[in-house]
Structure 1
């Protein structure tokens, strides 16, 4: 896995949210199914065939969103949320493999950040991006998705 720092432009997204404890994270995959079933309700969708999953981790819980990119946040369907993800620098990596190995991918990225002097910006959202081209692969359990960890200014 090649890890690097990249800048992502501001993004508008609309989707669904979930908040729970780490022991409840098995509920997250169903959020993707739920949003896919409601995508036609979301106006102003971009032509990109991706689902963007921003999330915040706190000491005892996680807030996880499954969203689609939109041109403008104007009409938000009932039960959904819409927000702007600001332009930001991220440490970027890709997870390929089993769901049981996702934690290892994150640990490798955290270790890389430490080695190269990057501090995670815990006030910003981390992102997972799931591209449509990998949908059937992901549904089979052989996951493929991009990970973006927000970073503070480079200090080394």
Structure 2
């Protein structure tokens, strides 16, 4: 089936269902989660009023005219423009071909568990407390998916074995607080929602820079998502 025809079929199904998850539609159309997410992004760019509902039982829904007005009024409250100074990160990395993105869902929990077990090996952690802030840097572009799970540090020196250092320049970000499950599907839905808000405000994300995810614990119910903007 040609891609255009499939997207039109997805659009028809979206309007029929009104409420759904990416996984449900991916299974119904026999495509990957990532492919269905791209289809939904395309529908959003075409003007389909999709809204991502965060949380464990979240998914997507079609906004009514009243809901669209309410979301528009809330835009300035739910997303903030923040300039974050140069950020230094030390942690464990994962690099995968973009086409193997789904392998990351199995590998990430192991990455974070190892990071927790080896936290004391990392020198110069900024604002180190009994519960320091965990930070993930994500570069999600073809052909490579790059993910670094780590901590923000004051300097990159004396690197622990098999860890990497990452220096991010001063950057303006759109910051949004994701509330709900920390699994990738829920987080991706929040990313999609933020991208819609950016579009409404005439802002453009910068795919050449790393996005950031900050949380107080590995499985925290709140995650601050930072999307670089041009």
The separation in 2 between residues aligned to 1:109 and 1:3, in whole angstroms, is: 8
Query: What SS is found at the alignment partner of 1:149?
Result: strand
Q: Tell me the equivalent position of 1:149.
A: 227
Alignment pair present for 1:131 and 2:210: no
Higher relative contact order (CA 8 A, sep 6+): 1
Q: Secondary structure at the match of 2:205?
A: coil
Displacement over 3 Å in runs of 4+: none
TM-score (norm: length of structure 1) = 0.85
- Show the counterpart of 2:152: 69
Deviation at 1:123, TM superposition (A): 1.1
Q: TM-score, normalised by structure 2?
A: 0.59
Deviation at residue 11 of structure 1 after TM alignment: 1.6
1:10 to 73, 83, 86: 86
Deviation, structure 1 residue 59: 2.9
Larger Rg: 2
Quote how far apart the aligned CAs of 1:60 are: 5.0
Is the partner of 1:71 in helix, strand or coil?
coil
Quote the residue 2:195 is aligned against. Answer: 110
RMSD: 1.7
Shift of 1:4: 1.7
Aligned to 2:169: 86
Higher normalized strand content (fraction of residues):
1
Match of 1:23 in 2: 102
Q: Give the conservation status (yes or no) of the 8 Å contact 1:52–1:129.
A: yes
| 1:20-60 deviations in Å (ceiling 9; x for gaps) | 22211212122111111111111111224111100101135
- 1:43, 1:106 → 2: CA distance? 32
Count of aligned pairs between the two proteins: 145
Alpha-carbon deviations, 1:87-127, whole Å to 9, x = none?
11001101111234222211110001111111111111100
- Greater share of helix: 2
The separation in 2 between residues aligned to 1:96 and 1:34, in whole angstroms, is 25
Q: What does residue range 44-59 of structure 1 map to in structure 2 within 5 Å?
A: 44-48=124-128, 49-59=132-142
Structure 1: runs of 5 or more not aligned: none
